[in-house]
Chains A and B, each alone.
Chain A
């Protein structure tokens, strides 16, 4: 693969722009995760069910979202 092919494939040839997009996506994922875990909890999902849906352990999702700050 040439550098030009790579640029076309990833949509940007400026690392500053591409890495900024990664940061923004991470932020977005955190915000969507928090909102939807709160929704699932309100609807009675267990931490285990939420962990399974996210592909992580019950412990890790509870440690991160368990108690209000």
Chain B
């Protein structure tokens, strides 16, 4: 399947794996994919949100979740990457989004999977997938966003 990915999409997927590993996550999730796809530029314009905004919104969701269970991490700053030498595997949501992006590209008669196909697949994820929470935190309505750039 990966041979169908355009160079930008491939960079996004590789970037998502690297991010997950450096942060110490056990799986590559849909949130990692979104942040990496946004870094590829095209998707930022389509979505109307920047990678930096998405990263900050995700960090804010983390802080709020920790506060909700009574943990205050205000004094913590990351000093370096978590030393996970093995690259984490894809979580089931991320796997589903990747194969869905292929179906979307095929349906659009595009030869390659572009970042926008990945973005569309991520926009289809329903709650409680964390990426759906992240879209909500960014003030993005996934249904509306998909409708906005589907007829192209």
- How many residues from A make CB contacts under 8 Å with B? 29
Q: Majority SS of interface residues in chain A? A: helix
Does any Cβ of A come within 8 Å of B148's Cβ?
Answer: no
Measured in the bound complex, the distance between the Cα atoms of B69 and A23 in whole Å is 12
Measured CB to CB, the closest approach of chain A to B43, in angstroms, equals 23
Q: Kindly identify, within residues 55 to 84 of chain B, every residue whose CB is under 8 Å from any CB belonging to chain A.
A: 61-62, 64-66, 68-71, 73, 76, 78-84
- How many residues from B make CB contacts under 8 Å with A? 27
State the A residues within 8 Å of B (CB): 10-12, 14-18, 20-21, 23-35, 37-38, 64-65, 67, 69
- Could you name 21 residue pairs across A and B whose Cβ atoms are closer than 8 Å? A14-B68, A15-B128, A16-B133, A18-B68, A18-B69, A21-B71, A24-B66, A26-B26, A27-B24, A27-B25, A28-B73, A30-B24, A31-B24, A31-B82, A33-B82, A35-B80, A37-B83, A65-B83, A67-B85, A69-B83, A69-B85
